[in-house]
Amino acid sequence: MTPTTTSALTTSITDLRAQAVARGRRLVLIAASLSNGPDLADVYGVRSLDDATAEIVRRAQAHDSVPCHLLRVSRLGSFLAGAMVEPDHAVAQVAVLVDEMREMLDVHGERVWPIITVAARECGPTDDVWGTVRDVRGTLVTAQRDTPGGTSWHHDDDEDVVPHDSLTLVRDLAEALTEQPGQLDLAYQPVVDLRHGAMTGAEALLRWHHPHRGPVGPLVAVEAAERTGLIHPLGRLVLERAVCQLASWRGRVGPTFRMHVNVSPIELREASYADGVAATLRRCGVRPEQLLLEITETALLADDPRVLRTITALHRIGVGLGIDDFGTGYSSIRHLHRLPIDTVKVDRSLVAGIATSPSDFALTRAVLGLLTTTGATVVAEGIEDPAQQARLLAMGCTLGQGYHLGRPVAADELFSTDSWSRDGTTEMLGA
Ligand code: C2E
Ligand code: MG
Ligand code: MG
């Protein structure tokens, strides 16, 4: 029997947990998905996907030593089951169970390898049952993205797991984008010439004021948007607002003042992206050189021909391209040489220790030395005190950003002197 409502599912799990405890065992929830299900349905029909799922479920249930009960099955090649495991052997026993599922399938006489992605979470005696279901589903969503065909255990301290409430977060973001754009806002953080404190540009940073959740961090919003395609309308909204904002500052900023806008690599895969940027610039009357698009993950950029085409088109239009968070996981000097990059932003993790640790200082100096070989302009991120600013200047780095120089603020506060400059202001910023 497949329970269909939330309360029926919760009751089934609670019963199963009681049975497991009575037998001296523990209940583990297993969420599984046939990651190549859509291909299977495409080639052999939806019926074949249902049959394949049923066969995988049958294999899981056929195991003698680890009783496994089907709790819910969806028509999309995924299901939720509860396995009763011995407390000290939970991981090993789930692995055995999953191994049984991962065997060749016979589909219309053809052999098909099922890519089964599995998430597991113990449903402890005092755990909130519905909470464990959300956890294991969230882990499955993340696993399908990051480790298809593998088994991932949910741990409460996992950072990278898609939030439990990801469905409602996505709905709320879609609502904000389509019906309540006032919830979405941009803060602007000055980019400063470290020699005399003049503001040479500003970075636009997304702010989402959620009516019930309060402020939602940009990384949370962007991650949800990247997962769901909402990154495209979100990116367009950010770009439009930032570019129009810059147009409205005409007369206050000089011709070399640049607006920095963060862009997701996923946006760059879209064939129409560069045309959209050009149209926005035309609409707002802003010259392409005044826009700098900040991109992370150079490896991904350099290896994806779609992204390379977009980058080349943006470069041809005259838009500046910057690499963000340089020095973290994905960036490499080799890739920088292959791309038309004009600005590199050195991540704040490389700035944090330069005034207190000789080895951090030496490392950052070496990185800055390497970056000079690319010919790109370097901006140091995360400058939090005057000592870091002085050290960077001594290393030849003349541009920076950070709380010491100016925090992200609302557009109309950006030009109040105390929000950004320690050394007073210049008449025409960026002139
Ligand atoms: P980012 O582009 O590297 O932006 C700099 C982040 O560091 C901002 O965090 C900023 O508030 C913070 N920051 C600046 N100075 C300091 C400092 O001195 N110390 C410390 N500890 N932090 C500092 P925020 O606004 O939370 O943004 C986080 C990230 O979210 C951004 O990192 C960017 O990757 C992403 N993001 C923000 N807005 C957008 C957007 O519109 N589109 C996309 N795709 N990503 C965005
Ligand atoms: Mg940035
Ligand atoms: Mg950064």
Q: Which of 183, 216, 220, 262 to mutate to test the pocket of ligand 1 (most atoms within 8 A of CB)?
A: 262
pLDDT for 3 equals 44
Residue 156 and residue 176 share a domain: no
Residue 114 and residue 191 share a domain: no
Q: Is 190 in the pocket of ligand 1 (CB under 6 A)?
A: no
Q: Is 403 in the pocket of ligand 1 (CB under 6 A)?
A: yes
In the reported structure, the alpha carbon of residue 186 is separated from the centroid of ligand 1 by a whole-number distance in angstroms of: 11
**Listed residues 104, 125, 160: the one ending a domain:** 160
Q: Angle at Cα 412 formed by Cα 408 and Cα 417, nearest 5°?
A: 70
Q: 425 pLDDT exceeds 70?
A: no
Among candidate residues 415, 338, 422, 429, the one with its CA nearest the CA of residue 386: 422
User: Are the CB atoms for 129 and 144 separated by under 8 Å?
Assistant: no
Q: Which residues pair with 116 in a beta bridge?
A: 34
**Listed residues 141, 160, 179: the one ending a domain:** 160
Question: Whose C-alpha lies nearest to ligand 1, atom 10?
Answer: 408
* 335-367 burial code (b ≥16 CB/10 A, e <16): bbeebebbbbbbbbebbbebbeeeebbeebbeb
In the reported structure, the alpha carbon of residue 377 is separated from the centroid of ligand 2 by a whole-number distance in angstroms of: 15
User: Which protein residues have a CB closer than 5 Å to ligand 3 (ion)?
Assistant: 324-325, 381
- pLDDT, average across residues 388-398: 96
Residue 252 and residue 135 share a domain: no
* 196-232 burial code (b ≥16 CB/10 A, e <16): ebbbbbbbbbbbbebeeeeebebebbbbbbbbbebbb
Give residue-wise pLDDT tens across range 119-141.
Answer: 999 999 999 999 999 999 989 98
User: Are the CB atoms for 260 and 344 separated by under 8 Å?
Assistant: no
User: Considering the domain boundaries, does residue 189 fall inside one?
Assistant: yes
User: Considering the domain boundaries, does residue 122 fall inside one?
Assistant: yes
Sheet with 151-153, strands from edge to edge, namely: 68-73, 78-85, 26-34, 116-122, 151-153
pLDDT bin (cut points 50, 70, 90) of residue 418 is low
- pLDDT, average across residues 321-329: 88
User: Considering the domain boundaries, does residue 429 fall inside one?
Assistant: no
pLDDT for 281 equals 98
Q: Is 364 in the pocket of ligand 1 (CB under 6 A)?
A: no
Residue 137 and residue 171 share a domain: no
**Stronger pLDDT, 226 or 194, i.e. the higher one:** 194
pLDDT for 333 equals 79
Residue 155 and residue 171 share a domain: no
User: Considering the domain boundaries, does residue 396 fall inside one?
Assistant: yes
Residue 56 and residue 192 share a domain: no
In the reported structure, the alpha carbon of residue 12 is separated from the centroid of ligand 3 by a whole-number distance in angstroms of: 47
User: Considering the domain boundaries, does residue 183 fall inside one?
Assistant: yes
Structural domain count of the chain: 2
pLDDT for 423 equals 41
User: Considering the domain boundaries, does residue 231 fall inside one?
Assistant: yes
pLDDT for 373 equals 86
In the reported structure, the alpha carbon of residue 384 is separated from the centroid of ligand 1 by a whole-number distance in angstroms of: 14
The ligand that comes nearest to the alpha carbon of residue 225 is 1
Q: Is 307 in the pocket of ligand 1 (CB under 6 A)?
A: no
In the reported structure, the alpha carbon of residue 205 is separated from the centroid of ligand 1 by a whole-number distance in angstroms of: 6
Residue 272 and residue 328 share a domain: yes
Residue 248 and residue 137 share a domain: no
Q: Is 217 in the pocket of ligand 1 (CB under 6 A)?
A: yes
- pLDDT, average across residues 39-54: 92
pLDDT bin (cut points 50, 70, 90) of residue 417 is low
Among candidate residues 221, 229, 299, the one with its CA nearest the CA of residue 262: 221
User: Are the CB atoms for 188 and 420 separated by under 8 Å?
Assistant: no
The percent of residues above 70 in pLDDT, for the chain, comes to: 91
Q: Which of 173, 205, 409 to mutate to test the pocket of ligand 1 (most atoms within 8 A of CB)?
A: 205
From the CA of 381, give the closest atom in ligand 1.
15
Give residue-wise pLDDT tens across range 217-276.
Answer: 999 999 889 888 999 999 999 999 999 999 999 999 999 999 999 999 899 999 999 999
In the reported structure, the alpha carbon of residue 175 is separated from the centroid of ligand 1 by a whole-number distance in angstroms of: 23
Question: Whose C-alpha lies nearest to ligand 1, atom 27?
Answer: 218
What is the CATH number for 54? 3.30.70.270
What is the CATH number for 275? 3.20.20.450
Residue 403 and residue 269 share a domain: yes
Residue 178 and residue 123 share a domain: no
Distance of CA 253 to the CA centre of its chain: 33
Domain that holds residue 383: 166-420
Q: Is 68 in the pocket of ligand 1 (CB under 6 A)?
A: no
Among candidate residues 68, 58, 70, the one with its CA nearest the CA of residue 27: 68
- For the ranges 102-106, 119-123, 149-153, 337-341, the lowest mean pLDDT is seen at 337-341
Q: Is 406 in the pocket of ligand 1 (CB under 6 A)?
A: no
User: Considering the domain boundaries, does residue 430 fall inside one?
Assistant: no
Residue 236 and residue 138 share a domain: no
Give residue-wise pLDDT tens across range 82-117.
Answer: 999 999 999 999 999 999 999 999 998 999 999 999
Q: Is 380 in the pocket of ligand 1 (CB under 6 A)?
A: no
The answer for 30, left when phi > 0, alpha when psi is -120 to 50, beta otherwise, is: beta
**Listed residues 160, 195, 212: the one ending a domain:** 160
Q: Is 347 in the pocket of ligand 1 (CB under 6 A)?
A: no
Q: 171 pLDDT exceeds 50?
A: yes
pLDDT for 160 equals 56
User: Considering the domain boundaries, does residue 431 fall inside one?
Assistant: no
In the reported structure, the alpha carbon of residue 262 is separated from the centroid of ligand 2 by a whole-number distance in angstroms of: 5
In the reported structure, the alpha carbon of residue 97 is separated from the centroid of ligand 1 by a whole-number distance in angstroms of: 43
For residues 254 and 415, give the distance between their C-alpha atoms in angstroms, rounded to a whole number.
Answer: 13
Q: Is 293 in the pocket of ligand 1 (CB under 6 A)?
A: no
Residue 170 and residue 144 share a domain: no
